[in-house]
């Protein structure tokens, strides 16, 4: 299992009902179901959609950018948006939507200002790394941020960071504080609580 | 023509069952009663020893029980032959597939052109109005006749999908999985408008004779063919018409006048004419009317039975279908998903409009296959 998914799975309250946006082949949902939870996946890409469906995941084909209004207020305990925030056209809009659908949200985001990226930028080149493996012209990532810059957005949206875990390049948790994480984490996972 | 009969390799059985008699008549939702009901059906594959592999196909407005296979001399195989058969998405080596002509139809099942035993003449407009739930009642009786106690899968497109929805809502304890394709839980005003014009074309045909046309020795062919021509336009898309015909002339060069000049006109004419050989004007009235009134989620307790006994749903639509648009499928998904029911949904990219559900589109069939593969895992246990 992808190590960040494993970490997310451990953040989910047992037996909770989760909505996994960008669920891929449904690995997280299946792991959650095996522990007594339930949930729905959202996937727009044909191959992972079929893989998830085949594996027994209830998966809905829709565009996260514009069609989350399909889901009712507080219809899930937790909404998971795993590593897709950076590909969305309007991340703030989507964060607002997911915190409407579920009071708890799990969001993960690559850290664009990892020290290696900073070095690469100093050489005059855009970073191409394991976490950001694309050239600028073919990347699905529309937004880049530092972990530091995520916080003001969460604050603006009334989302409280309940827990957060910085991750290394292999997806394993790093024992880092905020400042260290902004230099050394290649991504981070946040458990957010929306105000009601 | 096919030189071989493919019905044998499907393990096909075709029959007609008298499911209701004067002793035990069919009581209809609308209060009507039918004393004799015959149902034409076909089955493919074999019911396993535990009865856990039964799959019911609900046909669309103008379909029939002959869903798959081809008999010697037939010009075409069954209407869903590209989906149903050995090794196909609905694999008859795995599933016991049942398809029946709908009540009110004209392809072997009792309908408004059948003989009313009370009068010895065709029912005509004396045939009672039907409801989606009446189709389900009859098909549940057919299940009993065939020895099927529960359905692993109900599968239907268009009107067939509406019937699947009704069935799952009213008898979820007898159903494990439901697949609704290019369907709706409530027709839009535009849908109803199209149906209304079709019915008016039939009823305003002088040969309709207020529904007594068979007694009068007439036939409202003009009305029925116009209804079909217009409906057929709504089953395709602008792109499909453009790709198939463009502005091509039927005879090579355009010869202006009011005759059939454009290729598309000839095509529609053919659609209208060939429809007359297999469909009945009264059935067209009765069945389209059932669709107009169908609105199962309007009842406040509509989802109670399903919540208590969840059915797994797969809902599908086609992006160019404007007759049963994706928004209508999403509405179904919304109702089901809000009720916490296990629901999958996929919109398939296809230029062919509503008719896409009858075509062998790889992404479409792969989705049905994936859902049925998982359903079959449950059958195997």
Distance from CA of A49 to the nearest CA of B (A): 9
Average pLDDT over residues A167-181: 89
Helices (H), chain A: 3-11, 27-34, 46-54, 91-101, 115-122, 147-156, 178-184
Distance from CA of A61 to the nearest CA of B (A): 5
Pair (B205, B130) in one structural domain: no
Please write the tens of the pLDDT for every residue from B204-233. 999 999 999 999 999 999 999 999 999 999
> Is B199 or B1 the better-scoring residue by pLDDT?
B199
Is A53's CB within 8 Å of B370's CB?
Answer: yes
- Chain B CA closest to residue A47: B363
| pLDDT number for residue B37 | 98
- Chain A CA closest to residue B363: A46
Q: Is the pLDDT of residue B111 over 60?
A: yes
In this structure, is residue B363 part of a structural domain? yes
Q: Which residues pair with B55 in a beta bridge?
A: B97, B153
Which two tokens mark B356? 């896409």
In this structure, is residue B1 part of a structural domain? no
- The alpha-carbon radius of gyration of chain B (Å, integer) is 21
Which two tokens mark A72? 């009712």
Q: Count the helices and strands in chain B (H runs, E runs).
A: 11, 14
Which two tokens mark A191? 């458990």
Which CATH number belongs to the domain containing residue B234 in this structure? Answer: 1.10.1740.110
Given B237, B259, B288, which residue is the final one in a domain?
A: B288
Distance from CA of A72 to the nearest CA of B (A): 7
Pair (B28, B115) in one structural domain: yes
Pair (B179, B210) in one structural domain: no
Pair (B13, B159) in one structural domain: yes
Given B265, B288, B311, which residue is the final one in a domain?
A: B288
Pair (B142, B196) in one structural domain: no
Any idea which residues of B carry the catalytic annotation?
158, 321, 354
Q: Which residue range(s) make up the domain with B269?
A: 191-288
In this structure, is residue B335 part of a structural domain? yes
Pair (B201, B181) in one structural domain: no
Q: Is A173 helix (H, G, I), strand (E, B) or coil?
A: strand
Residue B346: its chain A contacts at CB < 8 A?
A: 49, 53, 61
| pLDDT number for residue A87 | 86
Q: Is B227 helix (H, G, I), strand (E, B) or coil?
A: helix
In this structure, is residue B116 part of a structural domain? yes
Q: Which residue from A17, A40, A54 is facing B370, i.e. has the nearest CB?
A: A54
Among B225, B24, B220, B232, smallest CA distance to B141 is for B24
% of chain B exceeding 90 in pLDDT: 96
Phi, psi of B309 (to 5 degrees): -145, 75
- The alpha-carbon radius of gyration of chain A (Å, integer) is 16
d(CA B103, CA B138): 7
% of chain B exceeding 70 in pLDDT: 99
CA angle at residue A30 from A12 to B150, to 5 degrees? 125
| pLDDT number for residue A84 | 73
A49 CB within 8 Å of a chain B CB: yes
Pair (B338, B362) in one structural domain: yes
Q: How many CB atoms lie within 10 A of CB B132?
A: 21
Which CATH number belongs to the domain containing residue B35 in this structure? Answer: 3.40.50.1820
B contact set with A (CB within 8 A): 312, 314, 330, 333-334, 337-338, 340, 342-347, 363, 366-367, 370-371, 373-374, 377
Q: Is the pLDDT of residue B74 over 80?
A: yes
d(CA B66, CA B101): 8
**Weakest mean pLDDT among A83-97, B138-152, B246-260, B308-322:** A83-97
| pLDDT number for residue B85 | 97
- Chain B CA closest to residue A41: B344
d(CA B155, CA B27): 25
Q: Is A185 helix (H, G, I), strand (E, B) or coil?
A: coil
Which helix H or strand E contains A189, and what residues bound it?
A: strand A187-194
Residue B347: its chain A contacts at CB < 8 A?
A: 61
Domains, chain A, ranges and CATH? Answer: 3-111+144-194 (3.40.50.150)
| Tokens 């599933």 belong to residue | B95
Residue A17: its chain B contacts at CB < 8 A?
A: 340
Pair (B168, B264) in one structural domain: no
In this structure, is residue B3 part of a structural domain? no
Query: Mutate which of A53, A62, A70, A75 to test chain B, going by most B C-beta atoms within 10 A?
Result: A53
Q: Which residue from A60, A72, A75 is facing B345, i.e. has the nearest CB?
A: A60
Among B268, B282, B286, smallest CA distance to B225 is for B268
Q: How many CB atoms lie within 10 A of CB B362?
A: 8
Pair (B284, B309) in one structural domain: no
Is B330's CB within 8 Å of A54's CB?
Answer: no
Pair (B119, B163) in one structural domain: yes
d(CA B321, CA B240): 11
The total domain count for chain B is 2
Q: Which residues pair with B27 in a beta bridge?
A: B33
Is B333's CB within 8 Å of A60's CB?
Answer: yes
Average pLDDT over residues A76-87: 88
**Weakest mean pLDDT among A177-186, B78-87, B318-327:** A177-186
Are the C-beta atoms of residues B191 and B184 closer than 8 Å to each other?
yes
Q: Is the pLDDT of residue A169 over 90?
A: no
Q: Which residue from A56, A60, A72 is facing B374, i.e. has the nearest CB?
A: A56
Chain centre to alpha carbon of residue B283: 13
- Chain A CA closest to residue B372: A54
Residue A58: its chain B contacts at CB < 8 A?
A: 312, 342-344
Given B231, B256, B288, which residue is the final one in a domain?
A: B288
d(CA A35, CA A48): 22
Is B330's CB within 8 Å of A70's CB?
Answer: yes
With cut-offs at 50, 70 and 90, classify the pLDDT of residue A83: low
Among A25, A12, A29, A34, smallest CA distance to A52 is for A25
d(CA B317, CA A10): 36
Q: Write the ipTM.
A: 0.93
**Weakest mean pLDDT among A51-65, A166-180, B121-135, B254-268:** A166-180
Pair (B115, B231) in one structural domain: no
As to burial, measured by CB atoms within 10 angstroms (0-12 exposed, 13-18 middle, 19+ buried), residue A93 is middle
**Weakest mean pLDDT among A126-130, B15-19, B128-132, B323-327:** A126-130
Are the C-beta atoms of residues A189 and A4 closer than 8 Å to each other?
yes
Distance from CA of A76 to the nearest CA of B (A): 9
What letter would DSSP give residue B24?
Answer: B
Per this entry, what is the length of chain A? 196
For every residue of A45-96, DSSP letters joined together read SHHHHHHHHHTT--EE---TTT-GGGSPTT-EEEEEE-S-GGG-S-HHHHHH
Among A135, A189, A190, smallest CA distance to A157 is for A190
d(CA A80, CA B60): 39
Are the C-beta atoms of residues A18 and A77 closer than 8 Å to each other?
yes
How far is the first Cα of chain A from the last one, in angstroms, to the nearest whole number? 34
What letter would DSSP give residue B308?
Answer: H
Mean of pLDDT over chain B: 97
Q: Is the pLDDT of residue B2 over 60?
A: no
Is A55's CB within 8 Å of B374's CB?
Answer: yes
Is A70's CB within 8 Å of B334's CB?
Answer: yes
Chain centre to alpha carbon of residue B1: 25
| pLDDT number for residue A13 | 94
Residue A102: its chain B contacts at CB < 8 A?
A: none
Q: Which residue from A50, A56, A71 is facing B367, i.e. has the nearest CB?
A: A50
Q: Is the pLDDT of residue B330 over 80?
A: yes
d(CA B57, CA B229): 26
Query: Mutate which of B361, B370, B377 to test chain A, going by most A C-beta atoms within 10 A?
Result: B370
| pLDDT number for residue A105 | 97
d(CA B216, CA B191): 32
CA angle at residue A172 from A166 to A176, to 5 degrees? 35
Q: Is the pLDDT of residue B98 over 90?
A: yes
Pair (B264, B151) in one structural domain: no
In this structure, is residue B2 part of a structural domain? no
| pLDDT number for residue B1 | 47
Q: How many CB atoms lie within 10 A of CB A125?
A: 11
Average pLDDT over residues B251-272: 96
A62 CB within 8 Å of a chain B CB: yes
Q: Is the pLDDT of residue A29 over 80?
A: yes
d(CA A49, CA B283): 40
Q: Is A155 helix (H, G, I), strand (E, B) or coil?
A: helix
Is B346's CB within 8 Å of A62's CB?
Answer: no
């Amino acid at each position: 299992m992808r190590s960040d998914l494993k970490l997310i799975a451990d953040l989910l309250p047992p037996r909770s009902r989760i909505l996994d946006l960008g669920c891929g082949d449904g690995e997280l949902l299946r792991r959650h179901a095996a522990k007594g939870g339930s949930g729905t996946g959202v996937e727009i890409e044909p191959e992972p959609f079929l893989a998830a469906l085949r594996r027994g995941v209830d998966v809905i084909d829709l565009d996260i950018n514009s069609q989350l209004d399909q889901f009712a207020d507080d219809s899930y305990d937790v909404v998971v948006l795993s590593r897709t925030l950076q590909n969305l056209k309007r991340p703030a809009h989507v964060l607002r939507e997911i915190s409407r659908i579920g009071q708890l949200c799990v969001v993960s985001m690559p850290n664009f200002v990892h020290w290696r990226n900073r070095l690469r930028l100093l050489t005059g080149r855009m970073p191409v790394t394991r976490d950001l493996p694309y050239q600028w012209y073919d990347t699905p990532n529309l937004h880049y941020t530092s972990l530091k810059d995520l916080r003001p957005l969460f604050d603006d949206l009334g989302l409280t960071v309940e827990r957060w875990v910085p991750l290394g390049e292999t997806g394993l948790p790093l024992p880092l504080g905020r400042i260290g994480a902004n230099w050394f984490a290649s991504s981070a996972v946040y458990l957010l609580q929306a105000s009601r | 023509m096919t030189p071989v009969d493919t019905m044998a390799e499907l393990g096909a059985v075709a029959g007609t069952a008298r499911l209701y008699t004067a002793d035990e008549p069919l009581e209809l939702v609308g209060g009507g009663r039918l004393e004799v009901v015959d149902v034409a059906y076909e089955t493919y594959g074999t019911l396993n020893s535990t009865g856990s592999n039964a799959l019911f196909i609900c046909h669309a407005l103008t379909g029939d029980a002959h869903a798959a296979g081809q008999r010697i001399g037939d010009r075409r195989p069954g209407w869903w032959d590209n989906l149903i058969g050995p090794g196909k998405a609905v694999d008859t080596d795995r599933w016991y597939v049942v398809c029946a002509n709908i009540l009110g139809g004209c392809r072997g099942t009792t309908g408004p052109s059948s003989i009313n035993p009370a009068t010895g003449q065709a029912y005509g407009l004396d045939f009672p109005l039907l409801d989606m739930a009446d189709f389900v009642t009859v098909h549940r009786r057919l299940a009993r006749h065939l020895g099927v106690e529960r359905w692993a899968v109900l599968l239907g497109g268009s009107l067939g999908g509406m019937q699947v929805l009704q069935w799952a809502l009213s008898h979820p304890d007898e159903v494990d999985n439901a697949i609704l394709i290019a369907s709706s839980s409530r027709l839009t005003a535009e849908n109803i408008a199209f149906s209304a014009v079709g019915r008016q074309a039939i009823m305003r045909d002088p040969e309709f004779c207020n529904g007594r046309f068979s007694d009068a020795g007439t036939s409202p062919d003009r009305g029925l063919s116009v209804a079909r021509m217009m409906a057929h336009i709504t089953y395709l898309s602008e792109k499909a018409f453009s790709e198939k015909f463009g502005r091509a002339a039927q005879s090579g060069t355009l010869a202006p006048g009011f005759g059939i000049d454009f290729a598309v006109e000839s095509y529609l004419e053919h659609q209208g004419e060939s429809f007359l050989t297999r469909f009945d004007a009264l059935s067209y009235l009765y069945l389209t009317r059932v669709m107009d009134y169908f609105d199962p989620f309007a009842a406040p307790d509509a989802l109670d039975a399903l919540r208590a006994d969840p059915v797994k749903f797969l809902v599908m639509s086609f992006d160019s279908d404007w007759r049963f648009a994706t928004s209508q499928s999403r509405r179904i998904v919304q109702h089901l998903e809000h009720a916490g029911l296990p629901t999958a949904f996929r919109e398939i990219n296809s230029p062919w409009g509503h008719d896409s559900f009858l075509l062998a589109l790889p992404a479409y069939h792969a989705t049905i296959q994936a859902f049925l593969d998982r359903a079959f895992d449950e059958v195997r246990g």
